[in-house]
Amino acid sequence: MINLAQFNVTPTQGLRKTLLLMNELETLAFNNVDFVTWVHRTFNSNCPGCIPGKIWKYMNENFTYVSDRPFDEVLIAPYYMPTIKKGDCDDMSLFSKTCLDIIGGWFTKYMLLGKEKNKFTHIVTFAHRGIYGNEYRDGVILDGANNNFNIIPTKYNFFKLT
């Protein structure tokens, strides 16, 4: 039986499998009425532009970054994060993206970051409220492993939106 709170991803399954399982966990979170209610109660605002900052601040103040074991990937369901209060970058990205998607008004994607081209080692949530010409309106980065809001650490030179 699969534990709906987390999935394990073996190294041979790689990034593609991780992203597919993250999408499955996001779907499970949408169907969790208690979590959806909690998200609206905790993050909804009369200031839609403030919502990503509220989510990031919540993660920064309430979650502890904990790496998975080497060559092992554990994905934690968004609705479980407020209880265990810890996770790695993919868990925090999954949490922030899911919360924004539940509230609505934002387009969200995962942003993969790497020090070398096509070698992505970090994931964050990228959100925006629309595209005008070639620019994202209100584009923002939510990185639960970063103490700075809307900042990509300088050690990452490459990114990919997915």
- pLDDT tens column, 101-146: 999 999 999 999 999 988 888 999 999 999 988 888 899 999 999 9
Tell the residue number behind the tokens 């998975």, with chain if given.
68
- The tens digit of pLDDT for each residue in 4-42 reads 454 444 444 577 888 999 999 999 999 999 999 999 999
Q: Residue 143 corresponds to which amino acid?
A: D
- Alpha helices by DSSP H, listed for 5-119, are 14-30, 33-43, 51-62, 81-84, 89-103
- The tens digit of pLDDT for each residue in 53-79 reads 999 999 999 999 998 766 567 899 999
Q: What is the phi/psi pair of residue 91, to 5°?
A: -65, -40
Tell the residue number behind the tokens 């009425």, with chain if given.
33
Q: Which domains does the chain have, with CATH numbers?
A: 6-161 (3.10.620)
Q: Residue 17 corresponds to which amino acid?
A: K
